[in-house]
Chains A and B, each alone.
Chain A
Amino acid sequence: MNLFNRFILRIKKSTNLRNTSSFAETMELSDEILPSIYTRETDPVYHNESHLNKLYNIPSKDCATILSHGLMNQYKIQLKIFNEMSILIRKPSIELLSYLSKSDYAKPVNKYVIYGECGSGKSTLLYHLLHYGYNTNKIIVYVNHAQYWFTKPKEIKYSEIERNIIDLPIDTRIWLDKFKLLNNHILCQANIKLSKSYKWGTGANFPKDSSLIDLINFGIDQTRYASEIVAALVNELKQASRIGLCNVLVLIDNYNIFFSHYTQIKNSLKKFALTSEFSLTQNFLEITKSDWCNGQIIVTVDTAVNKDRQESHLPRYLLTKEGFEHLDPFLPINVENYSEDEFYTMIDYYKHKKLIRSLTSNGEKELKLLSGYNPYKLMDLCKHL
């Protein structure tokens, strides 16, 4: 009995959103103290070349929703210290936003692959796009930290339908929870009905034309059906966007993990499973197919998640043959390290936030050399002690 209680507690802990998105109440900048490094345009829809190399703040009222999927640890601490979520407007994000605004939503989805060196700001770019999707009332299918599903899952279950498929019920449920939190207002507006009836076991019965939110809520309540419900959700989202009920923005961080051969989980044959054996992988590969319209797919590839492939950061190498064939044709977008202007903007930002003080010109030069203009390294060098 005690064990069972502990298990319940563990689930409750894991689903507590405070664990994943803990940040302080952010403060609005008043007009008179707004320095030149900031831009007043806080809506990414209107961002263009004139806002390049400037920072903008995600409004504090949207912050909790937009960042519901959680942040990188380093970011979390910075968010607490700075009391604001600032994003630098960079060239690739402007490029992507222009593509998104002018793409034809009646035709099949366009695919974009963001690549770049480790720590060059690919995931941060996704936050910018996430804010864009939120402001333009799109349903956002956002996946970050997918690598932890294959290394440290909370629970493993072999699928009841197919024995060689592995489900991760708790992780899936957590993802569903975050998905609902991010898209709740749009899901309520769009009022999407199911295109076909679903039935799993005795209790789970969803006839045709029942609400999609009910399906998601059922997945959150009944953890054991979560994997099947994500599959149904992907299917329904594609169906709904085909009809034109909603507009879907798919953002997947570290997408190349789905084509990696490295996991720490053993399958039913007691051998290390491939990532393709997971139901979550199959679902997110399904949504990145180009057989639907009224949506956009943006994924990032990174060397950090794939242990097999470390030599290059270029997309064809990281995606492997299968991944390239799955995504092709896609638009590769390179995220480079900071330019000279961006570097000084960030230095000014850190100075403004008093994270670094009394920095001489020699000190700036040293920071340049040490970081090599790499955003993550610069953040790491300037961080709190």
Chain B
Amino acid sequence: MSMFMYSKTYFFKPKIVNFIPLRSIKAKVPNTFVNEVDKDGFRILELFPTKIKKTVKYQKSIPIFTGREQKMPVDQDWPTVWPSQKTFQPHSVPLPVRQGYPKPGEGPFSKIANTELMKIPNFLHLTPPAIKRHCEALKQFCTEWPKELDSDAKCTEHFPLEVLYSDYCYSGPSIRDPLSRIITFKVKLSSLKLDYHAKDKILRLAGNRYDYTSDIITIITDRCPMRKQNYDYATYLLIALYHESWRKEDWENEKALADMEYYDWEKNQSKKNLVTIYAWPEIPQDFNYAHIPHAEEYKVAVSELINNGEDEHSINKYKQVVKKLMFFKPEKNHSTESE
């Protein structure tokens, strides 16, 4: 089919000869257009003319502006260059600082026109010599540290109350920092004079404001607009907390088993269980355990198991006591363990 179509459309049948490419060979022509002549006045024939070298004109390079930081002397007075806190300026800082998330295969961005460096706060105004100068200037306003308070322990002993507040200024319409009104009182529980009931009550009243690991009660007040008001309020709270914990109300006598802060074996089911088992098959009228041998040991073991937390040691102790309470046949040699 294809052959038929082919023969019909093309009259010219391609032959192999027709496809042979014609190679044109360019012969090098001697350069006859030469102006130079030799001493006899003949023109010089140059069979292989020398190439004329192109003279490239280089433009005179313009010196790149190397910032101010390049010209800074090494021993300059830095606190005068950077006296206070300000945004990062690349040409004022003679340091090769880099910041930013690098692209793959590249390093972090250099300091020039680097927004990341401008965003973060810097401490270039807080160099050691600058701080030293500040301290020197402030020294005239300070009084001497009392010699008696030579250790931290003595400080906490004589000044148990720690008051924390912040004194930052705010860059806004008003320089008053909104956080500066917040007052934090920290006081060690052991520095307060409390009996057993008062200590239990103060812990219940303080709730999560008390930290068991450090034994510190923390009171934070921020509801009043001024610092002094908050300070007064925190003082009031601490005084109220202390005096309220010493007071015993009538309803406190109605303390149920679920309200107990420790496990009291006498009030719990464990005692009833023990007495009921020993009174079986009669039902006991009063839960008196004085007649039961090893009941005191059992009481101590159960209380320790639940109050001190369960571990292999307390479980083993409990096991040894229960073994004495169990109903085993009296052995032949009448040992003391027989029940």
Q: Which residues from chain A sit less than 8 Å from chain B, CB to CB?
A: 99, 102-104, 107-108, 110, 242, 290-291, 293, 312, 314-317, 325, 328-334
Q: Are A329 and B319 in contact (CB under 8 A)?
A: no
What sequence of 0s and 1s flags, for each residue 305-339 of chain B, a beta carbon within 8 Å of any chain A beta carbon? 11000111001001100110111110100000001
Q: Which of B281, B322, B323 has the most CB of A within 10 A?
A: B322
Q: Assess whether B7 is interfacial by the CB under 8 Å rule.
A: no
Q: Are B268 and A332 in contact (CB under 8 A)?
A: no
Q: Are B306 and A291 in contact (CB under 8 A)?
A: no
Q: Are A110 and B327 in contact (CB under 8 A)?
A: yes
Q: A290-B273, A329-B298 are in contact. Are A104 and B328 (CB under 8 A)?
A: yes
- Name the CB-closest residue of B to A291: B280
Q: Assess whether B229 is interfacial by the CB under 8 Å rule.
A: no
Q: How far is the CA of A332 from the CA of B319 in the complex (A)?
A: 6
How many A-B Cβ pairs are below 8 Å? 69
Q: A316-B306, A329-B298 are in contact. Are A290 and B323 (CB under 8 A)?
A: no
- Name the CB-closest residue of B to A329: B322
Q: Are A329 and B306 in contact (CB under 8 A)?
A: no
Partner of B327, one of A104, A317, A330, A333: A104
What sequence of 0s and 1s flags, for each residue 35-72 of chain B, a beta carbon within 8 Å of any chain A beta carbon? 00000000000000000000000000000000000000
Partner of A102, one of B280, B306, B331: B331
Q: A316-B306, A332-B318 are in contact. Are A325 and B331 (CB under 8 A)?
A: no
- Name the CB-closest residue of B to A315: B315
Query: Which residues of B lie under 8 Å from residue A317 when comparing CB positions?
Result: 310
Q: How far is the CA of A325 from the CA of B265 in the complex (A)?
A: 11
Query: Which residues of B lie under 8 Å from residue A331 when comparing CB positions?
Result: 319, 322-323, 326
Q: Are A325 and B327 in contact (CB under 8 A)?
A: no
Q: A330-B322, A332-B318, A332-B319 are in contact. Are A103 and B274 (CB under 8 A)?
A: no
Q: A290-B273, A290-B280, A315-B315 are in contact. Are A329 and B310 (CB under 8 A)?
A: no
Q: Would you mind naming 14 contact pairs between A and B with Cβ atoms under 8 Å apart?
A: A102-B328, A102-B331, A103-B326, A107-B327, A108-B280, A290-B277, A291-B280, A316-B315, A328-B269, A329-B298, A329-B325, A330-B322, A331-B319, A331-B322
Q: How far is the CA of A315 from the CA of B325 in the complex (A)?
A: 19
Interface residues on B, range: 20 to 34
Q: Which of B276, B298, B306, B327 has the most CB of A within 10 A?
A: B327
Within the complex, the shortest CB–CB distance from B271 to chain A, in Å, comes to 10
Within the complex, the shortest CB–CB distance from A28 to chain B, in Å, comes to 35
Query: Which residues of B lie under 8 Å from residue A104 when comparing CB positions?
Result: 327-329, 339
Q: Which residues from chain B sit less than 8 Å from chain A, CB to CB?
A: 268-270, 273-274, 276-277, 280-281, 298, 302, 305-306, 310-312, 315, 318-319, 322-323, 325-329, 331, 339
Q: Are A312 and B310 in contact (CB under 8 A)?
A: yes
Q: Are B302 and A103 in contact (CB under 8 A)?
A: no
Query: Which residues of A lie under 8 Å from residue B306 when comparing CB positions?
Result: 316
- Name the CB-closest residue of B to A242: B281
Q: Are B310 and A316 in contact (CB under 8 A)?
A: yes
Within the complex, the shortest CB–CB distance from B252 to chain A, in Å, comes to 24
Q: Are B328 and A99 in contact (CB under 8 A)?
A: yes
Q: How far is the CA of A107 from the CA of B280 in the complex (A)?
A: 8
Within the complex, the shortest CB–CB distance from B272 to chain A, in Å, comes to 9
Within the complex, the shortest CB–CB distance from A303 to chain B, in Å, comes to 14
Q: Are B280 and A332 in contact (CB under 8 A)?
A: no
Q: A103-B326, A291-B280, A315-B315 are in contact. Are A329 and B273 (CB under 8 A)?
A: yes
Q: Are A108 and B310 in contact (CB under 8 A)?
A: no
Q: Are A325 and B319 in contact (CB under 8 A)?
A: no
Within the complex, the shortest CB–CB distance from A333 to chain B, in Å, comes to 8
Q: How far is the CA of A314 from the CA of B326 in the complex (A)?
A: 21
Within the complex, the shortest CB–CB distance from A296 to chain B, in Å, comes to 10
Q: A108-B277, A332-B315, A332-B318 are in contact. Are A325 and B329 (CB under 8 A)?
A: no
Since A107-B327, A291-B276 are in contact, a sample of 15 more A-B pairs with Cβ atoms closer than 8 Å, ordered by chain A residue number, is A102-B331, A103-B326, A103-B329, A104-B339, A108-B327, A110-B326, A242-B281, A293-B280, A312-B310, A314-B311, A314-B315, A315-B315, A317-B310, A331-B319, A334-B312
Query: Which residues of B lie under 8 Å from residue A312 when comparing CB positions?
Result: 310
Partner of B273, one of A99, A328, A332: A328
Query: Which residues of B lie under 8 Å from residue A242 when comparing CB positions?
Result: 281
Q: Are B268 and A325 in contact (CB under 8 A)?
A: yes
Within the complex, the shortest CB–CB distance from A381 to chain B, in Å, comes to 27
- Name the CB-closest residue of A to B263: A321
Within the complex, the shortest CB–CB distance from A92 to chain B, in Å, comes to 12
Q: A107-B327, A108-B280, A317-B310 are in contact. Are A329 and B274 (CB under 8 A)?
A: yes
Smallest CB-CB A-B distances: 5 pairs:
A107-B327, A325-B269, A104-B327, A316-B310, A108-B280
Query: Which residues of A lie under 8 Å from residue B327 when comparing CB positions?
Result: 103-104, 107-108, 110
- Name the CB-closest residue of B to A318: B310
Within the complex, the shortest CB–CB distance from A223 to chain B, in Å, comes to 36
Query: Which residues of A lie under 8 Å from residue B311 when comparing CB positions?
Result: 314
- Name the CB-closest residue of B to A333: B319
Q: Are B273 and A102 in contact (CB under 8 A)?
A: no
Q: Are B273 and A325 in contact (CB under 8 A)?
A: yes
Q: How far is the CA of A103 from the CA of B315 in the complex (A)?
A: 22
Within the complex, the shortest CB–CB distance from B241 to chain A, in Å, comes to 31
Within the complex, the shortest CB–CB distance from B218 to chain A, in Å, comes to 29
